[in-house]
Each structure stands twice: as structure tokens, then as C-alpha cells.
Structure 1
Amino acid sequence: MAAAKTFESQMARLEEIVRLLEKGEAPLADSMKLFEEGTKLSAALGKLLDTAEQKVTVMLENSEGELVEQPFEAEDAER
């Protein structure tokens, strides 16, 4: 059974694909295959990031001094 690829290994592969395509040395057919693989990796990585973002929560203290779990809001982090 093949091990699931980690986010980091998929990102490393995507970076490798970008470097290969930027060189412009691969034949057109190979470049197209690399582009397709990169597009699939990019979509998969985007989904992983979306899922991770949905899991992030922040612990806030309410008026009684109790910690209350709240969803993380990106706008709150910028303030």
C-alpha cells in the first residue's frame, strides 16, 4: 500500500514542476504532462489548505474568564 503523500512532498513536487517548466528545455509533450500534473497538484493543495483553514479555531476568554472556542476569522488576525 502506498503511503499518502504529505502536503510538503506535494508542494516540493509542484515547485520542481515549476522549475522544469521555467527552464523551457522539455519537449512540448513532456511540458504538457508536467503542466497537467502541476494543475492537479495545485488543486489538491488548495483543497488541503481550505480544509486546514476550516479546522483552525481560536480560544477566547469570555467576560466570566472562561475560555471559549471560536472559529478563526482571517479578518480578526489582521486587526
Structure 2
Amino acid sequence: MGTQPEIAALSFEEALKALEDVVRRLESGEAPLDESIELYARGDALRAHCQSRLDAAQARIEAIVADRDGRPVGVKPFDDAAGPA
């Protein structure tokens, strides 16, 4: 497992694919116990990395909500920024 790229360098899509591979390998039941433990630890790190990337993306797409005078008073999710569909 030492040849796998560092998790921090992976894009969201690469990390998600790697996580799916880990899950598939664990679910197959073919990995020995020590490898299963390493796979589980890597899977947890990949999950955390994916969540971090999603959180960062959400923060970037939030819209600033302004009051009548144009002062920022909060944020609203990107989904609400466009108004009703």
C-alpha cells in the first residue's frame, strides 16, 4: 500500500474512487487481517478527506446575504441563492 498517492494530494473524485476500491476490497473478505486493518484506516482517512473537500466546496458556494443597506448579515446555502426553480 506504500505506492498509493498521498491522500492530501488526491482530488475529491480520486479519493472517492480510492475509497470505493477500499470498500470493495474489504467487502470481498479476501484481505488478511493485517491488510484489512490497514485498508480500514486508509478508508477512514479517505472518507475524512472527501468530507473536508465537500465542506470546502460548500463554503465557497455559499451566497452572502445582505440587508437593505447592503451590509452582510449572514449566508445562505448556494441552493437557495438562485431562488425558486
Please, what TM-score do these two structures have when normalized by structure 2?
0.65
Q: What's the CA shift string for 1:36-79, capped at 9, x where partnerless?
A: 00000100110110010011145xxxxxxxxxxx94427748x7
Q: Using the alignment, how far apart are the partners of 1:5 and 1:74 within structure 2?
A: 25
Q: Using the alignment, how far apart are the partners of 2:26 and 2:49 within structure 1?
A: 19
Q: Given residue 55 of structure 2, which amino acid in structure 1 is its aligned partner?
A: D
1:31 has 2:36 as partner: yes
Native 8 Å contact 1:10 1:45 kept in 2: yes
Matches within 5 A, 1:37-76: 37-57=42-62, 71-73=75-77, 76=80
* Correspondence for 1:61: none
* Correspondence for 2:19: 14
Q: Which residue, out of 10, 32, 52, partners 1:5? A: 10
Q: Using the alignment, how far apart are the partners of 1:37 and 1:28 within structure 2?
A: 14
Q: Given residue 27 of structure 2, which amino acid in structure 1 is its aligned partner?
A: E
Q: Using the alignment, how far apart are the partners of 1:51 and 1:10 within structure 2?
A: 15
